[in-house]
Chain A
Amino acid sequence: MNWITNYVRPRINSIFSRREVPENLWSKCDECGTMLFHRELKDNLNVCTSCGHHMAITPRDRFKALFDGGIFTEVDVPEPLADPLQFRDQKKYPDRMKAALKQTGEKEAMLVAAGEIGRTPIVAAAQDFSFMGGSMGMYVGNAIIAAAQEAVKLKRPLVLFSAAGGARMQEGILSLMQMPRTTVAVQMLKEANLPYIVVLTHPTTGGVTASYAMLGDVQIAEPNALICFAGPRVIEQTIREKLPEGFQRAEYLLDHGMLDRVTPRTQLRDELITIVRMLLGLSPAIKGDLPAPTPADTSDAPTPST
């Protein structure tokens, strides 16, 4: 593989993608109502510059901000059987998939990539809430297994960003079976003594929380993320009482001993670098933005994308 493809193409891509965002576009913070410059919001990783509210961010945008120089190589995920149950509710499952694909430009609800953060090679996986609620089906299971296998193969830590409404009902029992499947993936990492860091983002609920998203060596959450097994509405209906303020939010879970840390998105990268390097017994990293890795670092990697 030519190193120029590795090094130059992603940068060109990132210049183009920047142009796609018109300078004059504004969007409104759904928390405080402040009108925010689209560019400004994007540069702040979709965190409101006025109130600190964390809005959704796509896995691709997250990886661009996470990896050194915005460069990463996608890890291939084995394609599962499409529509294994021939599921149909008011819509057919394949039609829902097509709509999600069209809306997000992604083929499924999880992106896996390898790259460096603060010159520390890692594998990362991020769930895409905008793709059918980030729901966990066979593909997401395959993605987590592929991520774990890649991490074991390359002897790297795995950093996983979770975001999901839960299991993908359209895959019925097979979505439920992703709980044990992804747990096996986590066990591969543990047996290889590789760090597994989970970053829980808004929202992480249901079977996702009750499997790989709660099995990290270190559990970090973004501020105010909803993290639960049963959702607040279901609980209110069951116990017929009002739930306390902030119930099942990141800070509430931190108080109840269920998380290690709650960290704003803008500080996450540095924090992940610090933690991962300590767990790997490496020297402290140089803080701040780093240039893209030198070609030699990625020369053995597959075709990169951004």
Chain B
Amino acid sequence: MTNYLDFERPLAEIEGKAEELRAMARQNEEMDIEAEAAALDKKAADMLKDLYKSLTPWRKCQVARHPDRPHCKDYIDALFTEYTPLAGDRNFADDHAVMGGLARFDGRPVVVIGHEKGNDTKSRIERNFGMARPEGYRKAVRLMDMADKFGLPVMTLVDTPGAYPGKGAEERGQSEAIARATEKCLQLKVPLISVIIGEGGSGGAVAFATANRVAMLEHSVYSVISPEGCASILWKDAEKMREAAEALRLTAQDLHKLGVIDRIIAEPMGGAHRDRTTTIETVGDALRTMLADLGSQKGAKLLADRRKKFLDMGAKGLAA
């Protein structure tokens, strides 16, 4: 079953009709529907292409949040070998919204860290919908320290609506935890590579994405605040999220123009969720290229370049 987004409704109807025809034909061998079904398929493919050709920023947010989009765990399972999860912040708990550990990428040992949203009700709740608590950032800091000590590159996969707005999270120093994770990113003498695979939500994303190279999937988003949050503050109406998404310039394309990200990773036609395997492979290729770029550089240079990259950021604006 396909999960359709609201703007894909006309597409759902056509694809539904084609499916219905084929189901009928399976029960009645006399029926010849292939020509008609093929025409519907063609119409659906054209419509898909048309819809995705120029997604509005708000539609990109919807695609970035699509429940069938590949998540951190999918990438780790497919692209890494010998993944050995390492748990806990050694202070309070293990945060299941953040997964990470040792793994091999093309045979090379690395540390991989990412937000995991979960893929059904049970795992979503367990993963807290990818919203990390302080323990998640502190676990990441611990893993980055280990990577630094043993000279392993760090790869982060960012996919979070943001930090968890909870009582305990605040009491246990959410702000400090995020600040320390960003600080740690800026202290590493190993390559730090980040891919925003879905939602790059505010401080919770920065904590992992203060990297030498930051790539974004074509329809992923990265923003200081959610369009709904921005709309309710600036428009005093959360329903103005379309306008807010537009104004915030949160798409991979705009962020690339601004020099905030280094590379855009193309998604299959109709978004990552329509062809998960291809998406994952393309992300793997991008990680490979970025690692090759950085892999042989000296630690001190990696660190200095990373700091300079962020210090210099903002010199480039966007023309309307």
Contact with A along B141-171 (1 / 0, CB 8 A): 0000000000000000000000111110111
In the assembly, what is the distance between CA of A110 and CA of B206, in Å? 23
Q: Across the interface, do B230 and A169 meet the contact criterion of CB distance under 8 Å?
A: yes
What total of chain B residues lie within 8 Å of the partner, measured CB to CB?
53
Q: Across the interface, do A187 and B187 meet the contact criterion of CB distance under 8 Å?
A: yes
Q: For the complex, is B294 an interface residue (Cβ under 8 Å from A)?
A: no
**Cβ contacts under 8 Å, B255 to chain A:** 173
Give residues 146-197 of A contacting B (CB, 8 Å). 167, 169, 171-177, 179-181, 183-184, 186-187
Q: For the complex, is A238 an interface residue (Cβ under 8 Å from B)?
A: yes
Q: Across the interface, do A184 and B307 meet the contact criterion of CB distance under 8 Å?
A: yes
**Cβ contacts under 8 Å, A235 to chain B:** 165-167, 170
Q: Across the interface, do A229 and B183 meet the contact criterion of CB distance under 8 Å?
A: no
In the assembly, what is the distance between CA of A181 and CA of B250, in Å? 19
Q: Across the interface, do A176 and B186 meet the contact criterion of CB distance under 8 Å?
A: no
**Cβ contacts under 8 Å, A83 to chain B:** 317
Q: Across the interface, do B247 and A85 meet the contact criterion of CB distance under 8 Å?
A: yes
Q: For the complex, is B244 an interface residue (Cβ under 8 Å from A)?
A: yes
Q: For the complex, is A26 an interface residue (Cβ under 8 Å from B)?
A: no
A85-B249, A183-B179, A187-B307 known; A169 and B233 CB under 8 Å?
A: yes
Residue of B186, B187, B210, B224 near A172 (CB, 8 A) is B224
Give residues 174-223 of A contacting B (CB, 8 Å). 174-177, 179-181, 183-184, 186-187, 206-207, 209-215
In the assembly, what is the distance between CA of A138 and CA of B182, in Å? 18
Q: Across the interface, do A210 and B178 meet the contact criterion of CB distance under 8 Å?
A: yes
A228 — nearest CB in chain B belongs to which residue?
Answer: B170
Q: For the complex, is B248 an interface residue (Cβ under 8 Å from A)?
A: yes
In the assembly, what is the distance between CA of A175 and CA of B223, in Å? 9
What total of chain A residues lie within 8 Å of the partner, measured CB to CB?
53
Q: Across the interface, do A174 and B179 meet the contact criterion of CB distance under 8 Å?
A: no
Q: For the complex, is B313 an interface residue (Cβ under 8 Å from A)?
A: yes
In the assembly, what is the distance between CA of A179 and CA of B165, in Å? 19
A177 — nearest CB in chain B belongs to which residue?
Answer: B313
In the assembly, what is the distance between CA of A87 and CA of B250, in Å? 12
Give residues 213-269 of A contacting B (CB, 8 Å). 213-215, 227-230, 234-235, 238-239, 241, 243, 247-248, 256-258
Q: Across the interface, do A183 and B186 meet the contact criterion of CB distance under 8 Å?
A: yes
**Nearest Cβ on chain A to B313's Cβ, whole angstroms:** 5
Give residues 97-116 of B contacting A (CB, 8 Å). none
Q: Across the interface, do B176 and A214 meet the contact criterion of CB distance under 8 Å?
A: yes
Q: Across the interface, do B210 and A180 meet the contact criterion of CB distance under 8 Å?
A: yes
In the assembly, what is the distance between CA of A81 and CA of B314, in Å? 8
Contact with A along B48-67 (1 / 0, CB 8 A): 00000000000000000000
Q: Across the interface, do A169 and B234 meet the contact criterion of CB distance under 8 Å?
A: yes
**Nearest Cβ on chain B to A109's Cβ, whole angstroms:** 16
Q: Across the interface, do A183 and B182 meet the contact criterion of CB distance under 8 Å?
A: yes
**Cβ contacts under 8 Å, A145 to chain B:** 311
Q: Across the interface, do A214 and B202 meet the contact criterion of CB distance under 8 Å?
A: no
Residue of B178, B187, B234 near A229 (CB, 8 A) is B178
Give residues 158-203 of B contacting A (CB, 8 Å). 163-167, 169-176, 178-180, 182-183, 185-187, 202-203
A173-B258, A176-B202, A177-B313 known; A186 and B183 CB under 8 Å?
A: yes
A173-B222, A238-B165 known; A87 and B247 CB under 8 Å?
A: yes
**Cβ contacts under 8 Å, A228 to chain B:** 170, 175
A208 — nearest CB in chain B belongs to which residue?
Answer: B175
Q: Across the interface, do A180 and B185 meet the contact criterion of CB distance under 8 Å?
A: yes
Q: For the complex, is B315 an interface residue (Cβ under 8 Å from A)?
A: yes
**Cβ contacts under 8 Å, A181 to chain B:** 310-311, 313-314
**Nearest Cβ on chain B to A96's Cβ, whole angstroms:** 10
**Nearest Cβ on chain B to A56's Cβ, whole angstroms:** 20
In the assembly, what is the distance between CA of A258 and CA of B319, in Å? 42
**Nearest Cβ on chain B to A261's Cβ, whole angstroms:** 16
Q: For the complex, is B243 an interface residue (Cβ under 8 Å from A)?
A: yes
**Nearest Cβ on chain A to B304's Cβ, whole angstroms:** 11
Name the residue among A86, A172, A243 with the largest chain B CB count within 10 angstroms.
A172
**Cβ contacts under 8 Å, A85 to chain B:** 247-249, 317-318
In the assembly, what is the distance between CA of A85 and CA of B206, in Å? 20
Q: Across the interface, do A138 and B314 meet the contact criterion of CB distance under 8 Å?
A: yes
**Nearest Cβ on chain B to A34's Cβ, whole angstroms:** 32
**Nearest Cβ on chain B to A203's Cβ, whole angstroms:** 12
Residue of A81, A209, A214 near B317 (CB, 8 A) is A81
- Offer 18 A-B interface pairs, CB within 8 angstroms, sorted by A: A81-B315, A85-B318, A89-B235, A167-B202, A167-B225, A173-B260, A176-B206, A176-B224, A179-B210, A180-B182, A181-B313, A210-B176, A210-B203, A213-B175, A230-B165, A230-B170, A235-B165, A239-B167
Using a CB–CB distance below 8 Å, which chain A residues touch chain B? 80-81, 83-90, 138, 141, 145, 167, 169, 171-177, 179-181, 183-184, 186-187, 206-207, 209-215, 227-230, 234-235, 238-239, 241, 243, 247-248, 256-258
Using a CB–CB distance below 8 Å, which chain B residues touch chain A? 163-167, 169-176, 178-180, 182-183, 185-187, 202-203, 206, 210, 222-225, 230, 233-235, 243-244, 247-250, 255, 258, 260, 307, 310-311, 313-320
Besides A179-B179, A209-B175, 15 new A-B residue pairs in contact (Cβ under 8 A), listed by A number: A84-B317, A88-B247, A89-B234, A172-B223, A172-B224, A173-B222, A177-B310, A184-B311, A207-B202, A210-B175, A211-B182, A213-B175, A228-B170, A230-B166, A239-B167
